[in-house]
Structure 1
Amino acid sequence: MKENEVPQDKEDYKGKSQIHKLMYATKEDGSYTQVNSEGWEVENMATRQAWEAVLEELQEIEARVRNGELSPIAYFMHKHLMELPILARHMGKWQWQIKRHFKPAVFRKLDQDTLNRYARVFNIPVDSLVRFGQ
C-alpha cells in the first residue's frame, strides 16, 4: 500500500485514542517507509467486538465465583487474558492442579505460599484474591 493509502480511521475506545499502529508503506520511488496508522474501521470494529466478548465472559465468570461455582483464580486468570497452560507455567504447576484450584472447596484449603504466588502472578494483593466478592 502507498503512504497516502494507510488507514487513518481514528477510533476512541477505552481511552486508547493515543495508540497508533506502525505500518509499512511504499514511497513514490518504490522504497518502503514506516507510517503511523490510527486504525482501520473494520479492524477497530473487530477489536471492539472482541473486547466486548471478553468483558461479557468475565462478567459470567464473576457471577459464577459469587455463586460459589468457581474460585477467584478463574476470574483473575480470565481478567489477565491468560489460558490454563500459561497460568500453570507461571505457577510452576501442572494444568490439572490449576483446574483443581478453580474449585472453591480446594481454593479455601490452599496454603499461604500458593496464594502468594497466585497474587504475584496476577499482580494483585493476596487479600483481593482471598476476599473476592465479600
Structure 2
Amino acid sequence: MNWLKTWTIGVKSLMLKPMQSSLTILGIFIGVASVIWLLAISQGISDVYQKQIEDLGANNIIIRTVKPSTQVTSENSGPMPYGVTRDDHEKILRIPTVTDAIQIRELKRSLYFRDNHIDGRLVGCTPEYS
C-alpha cells in the first residue's frame, strides 16, 4: 500500500465520523496541553525553591558522624574513638574561610522524670551555640 492510498483512506474515515474525529482531536489537544501545563508549573515551583535556597547561602555545613558497624580495637588502648574530636574542631577553626564552628553532641536516650518515661534526644553544646 502506498502513502497516497493510506492518506486518502484516513481522510475518508475522518469525514465519515466527524463527531468522533472532533472529540478525538479535542482529547489529544487537551492531553498535550495538560502535560505542557504540568511541566511549566513544576518548573516554576522548582525555580522558586532553588532561588530560596540560593538566598540562604551555603555558609552552614553540618558534619555528622556514624558509629562504625564493627568496633575496631587498638592493641594498646581498647576501642578506637570515632567522630569529630576536639583537635579536629581546632583544625576546622584554623581554616581561613571558616568564620565559626560549634560543637554539638546529640544522643538518643530514654529520659525519666518520676513515673514519666519518654524516648528523646539529649543535646549538649558549647556556650557559643546560643
TM-score tier after normalising by the smaller chain length: under 0.3
TM-score by length of 2: 0.25
- Compute the TM-score of the two structures, normalised by the length of structure 1: 0.24
Q: Which protein shows a greater Rg? A: 2
More helix by share: 1
